[in-house]
Amino acid sequence: MAGSLKKGFLSCRPEEKEKTGSCRPEEKVQISLEELAGSVTGLLIENNLTISTMESCTSGLIASLITDTEGASAIFPGSMVTYSNEAKISAGVPAEVISSCGVYSKECSLAMAKAARGHFQTKIAIGVTGNTGNVDPNNTDGIPGIMYYTILFDDREVTEIFSLDCEGLSRSEIKRIYAGEILQCLHRLICTGC
């Protein structure tokens, strides 16, 4: 998958879904990242779905966006921002995963999601790792603009690799695009299970 800063996120507005009970493709509209996060958090609250995150390259942005919605404390017990390899290991990512697969890998994002779920005992957990455009002196295998994320939801496991041409983008813009990609995927997962 490839991302772009220029596009908005497609979603149903909550009032439209409430009226019809579903969302047809023609009813989807472009919304901001904050609106997308509010929609996802509303669905989590409405369906009593608890969620936790372990974030690296998004630096806690997903957790921040989720908790911007009133009532989020009912479904969000906490998150971990694990920027360094040592922090990931301390939080429950097996050192062997990092040494054998690398910190920038789908195996690491899966281990991060499992560690978050295990620590917070949530129904849904997100693990995200990736590169925001710089060369990482501690992990030379990182490719700028590549993000790995895993969403665990009940017995479902979704692991994705997201690619972004990050030339000319700030770290903040890259993090917002990464968070939007993950929230869109989570929105789809919740709606297929609702």
Whether residue 3 is predicted with pLDDT greater than 70 in this model: the reply is: no
Q: What are the tokens at 163?
A: 């690619």
Amino acid at 175: K
Instruction: Specify the pLDDT at position 31.
Output: 85
Tell me if 114 is assigned to some domain. yes
pLDDT band at 22 (very low <50, low <70, confident <90, very high): very low
Instruction: Specify the pLDDT at position 137.
Output: 67
Instruction: Specify the pLDDT at position 192.
Output: 84
Number of folded domains that form the chain: 1
Structural domain of 127: 7-193
Q: What pLDDT, in 10s, does the model give residues 130-153?
A: 998 776 667 767 788 999 999 999
Tell me if 150 is assigned to some domain. yes
Mean pLDDT within 80-104? 96
Tell me if 2 is assigned to some domain. no
Q: What is the CATH number of the domain that holds 13?
A: 3.90.950.20
Tell me if 1 is assigned to some domain. no
Tell me if 130 is assigned to some domain. yes
Instruction: Specify the pLDDT at position 155.
Output: 93
Mean pLDDT within 114-137? 91
Q: What pLDDT, in 10s, does the model give residues 28-42?
A: 567 899 999 999 999
Mean pLDDT within 80-93? 96
Q: Look over the chain and give the mean of its residue pLDDT values, rounded to a whole number.
A: 87
Tell me if 55 is assigned to some domain. yes
